[in-house]
Structure 1
Amino acid sequence: VEYEDPEPEMLTANAKKFFKLRRDPFENEITSEDDLFLVDAHRIILEDMLTAANAGSMIALYGECGSGKTIIRRTFIHQVQQDHPDVILIQPARLDRRKITAESISTAICRALQIKHKPSAEERDAAIEEALIESANNGHLHLMVIDEAHDLSADVIKLLKRIWELTHGFRRVMGIVLIGQSELAKKLSGQHVREFSWRCNQIRMQPLGIYVPQYIRHKLSRVGVDADKIFTEDALSAIRGKCMGRIRHGIALDDAELDRSYPLNVNTWLAKAMNAAAQIGEQQITESLVLKV
């Protein structure tokens, strides 16, 4: 692979002052829906996640660090809370996902469905099944959402499949959404969890691609700045070019293009270009300046 992700860089105080920015536009601070930048691929993922609740299906969303998974998760949870009161979200509370056990999963379901503590695991499991079916009878949908899911053990993934198999009549009573880094796809390809992966719709976060200039304009507009007054059109294209690499397959095969235009990488190249411009007192960032960064 002929590409290396850039070392993360923040906008300097000097660059913020030079370009008259009230805050760093690339910190991904989301305070309202207006701050979100969603392309069609993101909207399809959000629809798929809602379908997982409606149809009781399983989804694994995976992608590189900085590809936008966290924003998708937060957007989805916000949409469910705002527009879908019939969906009960179940989210295990353990911060260290490697320490999630069958007990953690059961505790999360008990908390969401307000099931009283049971002295034995068998009684608790029976109460969970009963409560899920009763809740489904009352018109509720259930969706378990676990992020950092690449850290889950194979045993927990197999347990999730068993919970997913619970049915009420012909309907499944719970959908499952796992969100994690690219290691999640590798984990789901393992022999131990193949029964889960056969039934799970695996979705990879796509890079911004042709939407990079649009993304840059959006990010700067959220801090009241017109990107076209700072960047020339070819400079915006050059930022995307900075996120492109090549995969060499060998002498007999053609090279493939590698697109790493994920929000984190785009933000880093923008910060590097703006810091460099501020340092030399250049008000407008051109393609040649971007290429020198």
Structure 2
Amino acid sequence: MSQGSLAQIINHDEWPRTTERDVITSQIKAFVFAHGGHNGHIRNLFKEESDVAPSAKTNATPEDRPSTNEKESADMLLRKHTLTADARRKFKIARDPFTDEMTCDADVFLSDDIRYVRATIRQTAKHGGMLAVIGESGAGKSTLRQDLIEWINVNHEPITVIEPYVLGLEDNDAKGKMLKSIDISASIITTIDPNAKPKRGGEARGHQMHDLLKASAQTGRRHVLIIEEAHGLPIPTLKHLKRFFELQDGFKKLLSIVLIGQTELGWKLSESNPEVREVVQRCETITLPPLDNHVEAYLRHKFARVDVNFDSLFDASAVNEIRHRLRHAEAEGGKGNRAVKTTSLCYPLAVNNLVAGAMNEAVKIGAPRITGELIAAAVRA
């Protein structure tokens, strides 16, 4: 794109007609992430300054219309509501259904979408491949990682899980700690042989890692490298993952790779980003969708796990209000061609926070059940 075309976008919101706007925005975001940017840098990059055109508002369905509490709804992903002791006592809940509630695989809610993602992760770990699992904060990514490890342990699957430490992981050393290929090699070495000391030289360490993987594979073991918070990986490390994935003993692949990260990972692995094209061609990408029409089933499952009857606790209006409050509507498109785009924030963590807040509000006013009005009050709390 020429500087003149870019100036027209920035200064006058006039976009080239020869290229779809979505293509241009994808390329810009990929460029930003490829040069050390993160989601905070692009959060409002393409947000319209004015309201939705009247025609767009008129044609929108009630669910699609921008909510007066848009910002509050969006913030529900970030705000933590803890179920109070008074709320647990009032509703006769012995164990908090939303905090540290995952104790076994039966606690994991499975919609058809989540069941497919779980099966794909297991197949990658067992049979090989490179997979990127992408989801918003609170979408259930960590739960699926824990579920994979539980499945391996319970079923005695011959799979060695390798998880480099990602505390403070960022894609440049100015913001935190970069995870480099040499760190991944060390993690593989010490996981397979805890008594081994990783060699210092890069080539020597590479041979050491490869030899250990081959020896372990010859005993029938599979190996899966899991990197959580993978959206914080620097581009060079993402590129190097291709080399790890290609480690073989004859025709046999020695290492499966599962990357778990927020939406920034999707931009870093964009087909528009030429720096990572070799990884993109080998990596399957799967996105965890919001709960949306599964909200009621999700809540029924959560409360059944703590022996509480959903129908006795929730009014019919509550579920619809949860979906409404966790929808974020905004205008998109250029001048004269604007429409309303609705983004769902209906992820497990957001639903948990909203319902816990509503239950706490119910205690304050002595309400016997959770209604739509209490859900709305929890947003304002």
Verify same fold: TM over 0.5.
yes
Instruction: State the partner residue of 1:234.
Output: 317
Q: CA shift at 1:292, angstroms?
A: 4.7
Say if 2:180 is the partner of 1:101. yes
- The answer as to whether partners of 1:15 and 1:279 remain within 8 angstroms in 2 is no
The structure-2 alpha-carbon separation of the partners of 1:53 and 1:290, relative to structure 1 and needing over 3 Å to count, comes to closer
Cα deviation 1:157-209 (Å, max 9, x = unaligned): 22221111122222321110011111111222343322212221111111112
Instruction: State the partner residue of 1:284.
Output: 369
Say if 2:165 is the partner of 1:82. no
Instruction: State the partner residue of 1:245.
Output: 328
Instruction: State the partner residue of 1:72.
Output: 144
Instruction: State the partner residue of 1:5.
Output: 75
- The percentage of aligned residue pairs carrying the same residue is 36
How many residues align? The count is 293
Say if 2:288 is the partner of 1:210. no
* Match of residue 254, structure 2, among 165, 173, 188: 173
- The answer as to whether partners of 1:142 and 1:175 remain within 8 angstroms in 2 is yes
SS at 1:17 equivalent: helix
- The answer as to whether partners of 2:361 and 2:377 remain within 8 angstroms in 1 is no
Letter in 1 for 2:316: E
The equivalences for 1:28-47 within 5 A come to 28-47=100-119
Gaps of 5+ in 2: 1-46, 48-65, 171-176
After the TM superposition, which of the residue ranges 277-286 and 65-74 deviates more from structure 2?
277-286
Letter in 2 for 1:290: I
Instruction: State the partner residue of 1:275.
Output: 360
Larger Rg computed on CA atoms: 2
Instruction: State the partner residue of 1:116.
Output: 196
Q: CA shift at 1:111, angstroms?
A: 1.4
Q: CA shift at 1:28, angstroms?
A: 4.4
Gaps of 5+ in 1: none
Distance 1:65 1:125 in 2: 34
Say if 2:306 is the partner of 1:223. yes
- The answer as to whether partners of 2:166 and 2:229 remain within 8 angstroms in 1 is no
Cα deviation 1:126-169 (Å, max 9, x = unaligned): 12222222332332221100101111122222222111112222
Q: CA shift at 1:215, angstroms?
A: 1.1
Q: CA shift at 1:253, angstroms?
A: 4.9
After the TM superposition, which of the residue ranges 22-31 and 262-271 deviates more from structure 2?
22-31
Distance 2:374 2:159 in 1: 50
Q: CA shift at 1:97, angstroms?
A: 2.5
After the TM superposition, which of the residue ranges 49-58 and 203-212 deviates more from structure 2?
49-58
Cα deviation 1:241-292 (Å, max 9, x = unaligned): 2222324324535433322110111112212221222111110223344345
RMSD: 2.2
The structure-2 alpha-carbon separation of the partners of 1:256 and 1:94, relative to structure 1 and needing over 3 Å to count, comes to closer
* Match of residue 239, structure 2, among 158, 161, 170: 158
- The answer as to whether partners of 2:133 and 2:286 remain within 8 angstroms in 1 is yes
Distance 2:101 2:317 in 1: 27
- The answer as to whether partners of 1:157 and 1:193 remain within 8 angstroms in 2 is yes
SS at 1:202 equivalent: strand
The structure-2 alpha-carbon separation of the partners of 1:278 and 1:204, relative to structure 1 and needing over 3 Å to count, comes to same
SS at 1:248 equivalent: strand
Distance 1:177 1:231 in 2: 38
